[in-house]
């Protein structure tokens, strides 16, 4: 019985010690060597802090050290916090502060870029650098090398499957990103479920194009560890790099989000790739039918699998390839070991074709939001579920997404019941963008919205009322690019004399969204 994530690795190491576990460029590490390295990292962390459950953040691009760090943190009994490598200082600071990170694993270049933002984080005790630490100082924080010999041997840490394993940060409709707390059970059950419906095996080689800070990206790694397959890491600059990697490394499975699929669909795929690329998967938004059509033409022997998920439940639904032609707009049915319901706000079940909120039940439901009891109580609720003469009060997650179910039980996405922006595969909080814009002197009011965009899913439009002539569209775009991740930079900025308001005197976000909905349709 597996009770901790690192056992995904140790089991495969025992069964297939010489098989390729992780590959990047032309370098490969076997399961046995990775297992040894993970134990070394666990011992290194144990020497810094014996406390179980301490948070350790990993702020790295995809590389061997990132993989061994995540698994070593798990083996040491601590909680890993993967930070998206595209985030900048302010966003990294929020995550480190919010979950009181004690240890940060990063590189010299990344540390230099964020040093001014993290120098007064009181919880941070140690920084582990994967490269040279010469000339770097941040307050009283101590530094050690990632490759320093551990001061203690690996000690057995008692871990049960309900213990905290990871905190993944995802944006909410208000405020800054929230930390979703995942247990070992959540992640192991997720790997088992995904591997079952994708028929993964030790013969698979998955290309990890998504960051490990995404549950969707992390799933590529954990699924391969479970079945003894190979995870091929890539930090690509251009979409063509992805196609070249699929061909070079004989990739059998590729997971991506709609904006990347849109780019890949417009490129030429080499002949023969489809013979070894068993499947492609999509999540993080609907794949346009035109894009799907192009991909199927380029990859005739490859099965497209359309999926739906949320960080709070790892993965929720998938559409079997056999159903794709019959219902191409469906998000499918529940994944194995999960039940997905369509409920009214009072908890009663919706009728066929009646819109309701998607509610997920099962082993993949996360433990809640870190340090946010109010939001946890709002989204994670007890459901008095009665079936087969049994009654069991358990926690389910209300997704915030409105769906409907057809007579065959297949689900269809309708929209969100909040104001989240889903762009380039990311969930972006309008409040987070607006908080930064409001910090710019001369900005009086602002509002950010998401509108449909063919490539991005949604594009961000920002409206501003300003009292300073320096506040121009060009100035705001420049400032956003300087501070915000690229996926949060507005596509359009407009300066207005007045912003629409509703009857309550609040900025009328709904009417603004309607006004700009067709902005990119031409």
Q: What's the token pair of residue 332?
A: 């499918």
b/e 216-249 (16+ beta carbons within 10 angstroms → b): bbbbbbbbbbbbbbbbbbbeeeebeebbebbbeb
Q: What's the token pair of residue 45?
A: 């962390």
For CA atoms 63, 68, 74, 79, give the dihedral sign.
negative
Residue 127's Cα: distance from chain center in Å?
A: 24
Is 198:208 a contact under the CB 8 Å cutoff? Answer: no
Q: In this predicted structure, what is the pLDDT of residue 205?
A: 99
Q: In this predicted structure, what is the pLDDT of residue 389?
A: 46
**Which H or E element spans position 191?**
helix 184-197
Each domain of the chain, given as residue ranges in start order, spans 6-181, 331-416, 422-516
Whole-angstrom Cα distance, residue 310 to residue 331? 13
Q: In this predicted structure, what is the pLDDT of residue 1?
A: 85
Whole-angstrom Cα distance, residue 369 to residue 312? 9
Three-state SS sequence of 360-384: EEECCCCCEECCCHHHHHHHEEEEE
How far is CA 158 from each of CA 12, 72, 252, rounded to the nearest angstrom? Answer: 21, 15, 36
Domain 422-516: give its CATH code: 3.30.300.30
Whole-angstrom Cα distance, residue 510 to residue 419? 9
Beta-bridge mates of residue 28: 23
Nearest to 186 by CA among 484, 399, 397, 441: 397
Residue 345's Cα: distance from chain center in Å?
A: 27
The class of domain 6-181 in CATH terms is: alpha beta
Q: What is the pLDDT along the chain (522 residues), one digit of tens a residue?
A: 899 999 999 999 999 999 999 999 999 999 999 999 999 999 999 999 878 999 999 999 999 999 999 999 999 999 999 999 999 999 999 999 999 999 999 999 999 999 989 888 999 999 999 996 655 556 667 888 999 888 777 767 899 999 999 999 986 545 678 999 999 999 999 999 999 999 999 999 999 999 999 999 999 999 999 999 999 999 998 999 999 999 999 999 999 998 899 899 999 999 999 999 999 999 988 888 888 999 999 999 999 999 999 999 989 999 999 999 999 989 999 999 999 999 999 999 999 999 999 999 999 999 999 999 999 999 999 986 555 444 567 899 999 988 999 999 999 988 777 778 889 988 788 878 988 998 898 998 899 999 999 999 999 999 999 988 999 999 999 999 999 999 999 999 999 999 898 655 678 888 899 999 999 986
pTM of the model: 0.87
Is 155:46 a contact under the CB 8 Å cutoff? Answer: yes
Q: In this predicted structure, what is the pLDDT of residue 134?
A: 59
Phi and psi torsions of 260, nearest 5°? -70, -40
Domain 331-416: give its CATH code: 2.30.38.10
Residue 348's Cα: distance from chain center in Å?
A: 30
């Amino acid at each position: 019985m597996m009770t901790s994530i690192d056992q995904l690795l140790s089991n495969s190491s025992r069964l297939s010690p010489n098989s390729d576990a992780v590959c990047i460029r032309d370098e490969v590490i076997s399961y046995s060597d990775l297992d040894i390295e993970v134990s070394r990292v666990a011992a290194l962390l144990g020497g810094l802090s014996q406390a179980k459950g301490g948070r350790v953040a990993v702020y790295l691009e995809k590389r061997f050290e990132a993989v061994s760090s995540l698994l070593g943190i798990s083996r040491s009994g601590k909680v890993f916090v993967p930070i998206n490598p595209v985030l900048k200082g302010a966003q990294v600071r929020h995550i480190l502060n919010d979950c009181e990170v004690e240890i940060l694993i990063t590189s010299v270049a990344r540390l230099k870029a964020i040093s001014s933002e993290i120098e007064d984080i009181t919880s941070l005790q140690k920084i582990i650098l994967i490269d040279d630490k010469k000339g770097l100082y941040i307050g009283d924080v101590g530094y050690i090398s990632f490759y320093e010999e551990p001061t203690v041997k690996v000690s057995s840490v008692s871990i049960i499957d309900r213990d905290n394993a990871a905190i993944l940060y995802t944006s909410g409709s208000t405020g800054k990103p929230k930390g979703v707390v995942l247990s070992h059970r959540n992640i192991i059950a997720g790997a088992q479920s995904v591997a079952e419906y994708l028929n993964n095996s030790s013969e698979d080689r998955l290309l990890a194009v998504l960051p490990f800070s995404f549950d969707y990206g992390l799933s590529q790694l954990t699924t391969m560890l479970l079945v003894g397959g190979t995870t091929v890491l890539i930090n690509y600059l251009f979409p063509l790099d992805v196609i070249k990697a699929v061909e070079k490394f004989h990739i059998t499975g590729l997971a991506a989000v709609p904006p990347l699929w849109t780019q890949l669909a417009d490129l030429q795929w080499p002949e023969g790739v489809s013979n070894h690329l068993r499947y492609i998967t999509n999540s993080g938004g609907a794949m346009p039918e035109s894009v799907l059509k192009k991909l199927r033409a380029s990859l005739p022997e490859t099965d497209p699998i359309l999926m739906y998920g949320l960080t709070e439940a790892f993965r929720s639904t998938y559409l079997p390839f056999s159903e794709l032609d019959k219902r191409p707009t469906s998000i499918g049915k529940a994944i194995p070991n999960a039940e997905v319901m369509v409920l009214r706000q009072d908890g009663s079940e919706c009728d066929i074709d009646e819109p309701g909120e998607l509610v997920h039940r099962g082993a993949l439901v996360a433990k809640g939001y870190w340090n946010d009891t109010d939001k946890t109580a709002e989204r994670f609720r007890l459901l008095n579920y009665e079936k087969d003469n049994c009654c069991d009060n358990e926690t389910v997650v209300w997704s915030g997404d409105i769906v409907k179910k057809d007579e065959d039980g297949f689900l269809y996405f309708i929209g969100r019941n909040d104001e989240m922006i889903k762009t380039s595969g990311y969930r972006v909080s309008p409040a987070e963008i607006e908080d930064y814009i409001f910090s710019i002197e001369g900005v009086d009011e602002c509002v950010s919205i998401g509108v449909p965009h063919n490539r991005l899913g949604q594009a961000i439009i920002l409206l501003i009322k300003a009292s300073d002539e320096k506040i121009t569209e060009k100035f705001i775009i420049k400032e956003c690019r300087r501070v915000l991740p690229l996926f949060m930079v507005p596509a359009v900025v407009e300066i207005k004399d007045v912003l629409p308001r509703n009857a309550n005197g609040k900025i009328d976000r709904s009417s603004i969204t309607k006004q700009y909905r067709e902005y990119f349709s031409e």
